[in-house]
Structure 1
Amino acid sequence: SRSPGKEITDPSDEDEKKPNKSQQLKKVFKEYGAVGVSFHIGISLMSLGIFYLAVSSGVDMTAVLLKLGFSEALVQSKMAAGTSTFVLAYAIHKVFAPVRISITLVSVPFLVRYLRKIGIFKPPASSP
């Protein structure tokens, strides 16, 4: 006696349908275009630069990552002994990819809204 268009859904099924971070990032890029891409590239370059500076300055990044709660197996796999400063900085930069993606996902909509408010961007065209 159920109507065909109104199926009961299990709330646990909705968690499986939630897009992962990379899918969310693609959606932001599609929705906000050059602003989203530029922001993410900018934050990625800053991240790589900061980690390169930290590694070249002699900061013990293994200890830092372990204190931040990263698993020892992950840290050791990314930080092989004898790697160059840049390779080590890049590996740490990759470990922090979810953080950069999250910052982009949260920041870009606010940035675009602000740029529209001050008149740099036109508001989105209303659909008919």
Structure 2
Amino acid sequence: MAAAPLLLPSLAAPTARQHRRHQLQRTQLQRGSLASGALRPPLPRRRLAVSAVQETKEGEAKTAEEITEKYGLEFGLWKVFSSKEEEEGGEGRKKSRTDQAKELLAKYGGAYLATSISLSLVSFTLCYLLISAGVDVQDLLAKVGIVTGETGGKVGTFALAYAAHKAASPIRFPPTVALTPVVASWIGKIRKGGD
């Protein structure tokens, strides 16, 4: 079982600085510097300390196949090449890392490429049409948090669309990862139906 951190809050004692401030406010109140009913000194703030505790998860993906279906092809390949243990193959023999990677690429590689290329074509076409229509794509990307260079006046529409398309690749990555297992199952159904 793999372990995941669980954060639990615990209350910490007030710092010396907070304690001195509270003491000063209390003495001012006693001397009458603060109006007795108008202002009350704030209560001392307690700092919140966080500690990590290991928590085990029962339903966590363990094989490269499960990780690929849940998180995408890149994470499945990462699992294959970063794990120290080899997976069990048919007839009780162990599969090498190369064989595991070949199986993942055979099952999900085509689906990943189809999904990635399709989303890239849609993204580039959208960027090209927006720039042709006069929309400031650099400003739109800046609102999402992606900053592009100031080359707008020096290049053409195609180059601007390509630059905006490349800058938007972090936006395309999550849908590509999420749709790859769906496309792979769809391609698998087509292959089984065609046999």
The TM-score, its normalising length taken from structure 2, stands at 0.42
Residue type matched to 1:91 in 2?
Answer: A
Return 5+ residue gaps in structure 1 as ranges: 1-8, 12-22, 123-128
Larger-Rg structure: 2
| Residue 91 to residue 44, structure 1, CA distance change in 2 (3 Å) | same
Counterpart CA distance in 1 for 2:110 and 2:172 is 17
The structure carrying a bigger helix percent of its residues is: 1
Q: 1:115 Cα deviation (Å)?
A: 4.4
1:92 aligns with 2:168: no
How much is the aligned-residue C-alpha RMSD, in angstroms? 3.3
Return 5+ residue gaps in structure 2 as ranges: 6-72, 78-100
The structure carrying a bigger strand percent of its residues is: 2
Residue type matched to 1:87 in 2?
Answer: A
Q: Which is bigger in relative contact order (C-alpha 8 A, separation at least 6)?
A: 1
For the Cα contact (< 8 Å) 1:35–1:112, is it kept in 2?
Answer: yes
1:60 aligns with 2:136: yes
| Aligned residue number for residue 184 of structure 2 | 112
Counterpart CA distance in 2 for 1:26 and 1:38 is 18
What percentage of residue pairs aligned between the two structures are identical?
31
Residue type matched to 1:113 in 2?
Answer: S
For the Cα contact (< 8 Å) 2:124–2:162, is it kept in 1?
Answer: yes
| Residue 82 to residue 44, structure 1, CA distance change in 2 (3 Å) | same
| Residue 45 to residue 94, structure 1, CA distance change in 2 (3 Å) | same
Q: 1:101 Cα deviation (Å)?
A: 2.2
| Aligned residue number for residue 58 of structure 2 | none
Name the stretch that deviates more: 33-42 or 82-91.
Answer: 33-42
| Residue 90 to residue 81, structure 1, CA distance change in 2 (3 Å) | same
Counterpart CA distance in 2 for 1:32 and 1:92 is 28
Counterpart CA distance in 2 for 1:101 and 1:42 is 12
1:76 aligns with 2:149: yes
Residue type matched to 1:75 in 2?
Answer: T
Count the aligned residue pairs: 101
Counterpart CA distance in 1 for 2:165 and 2:130 is 11
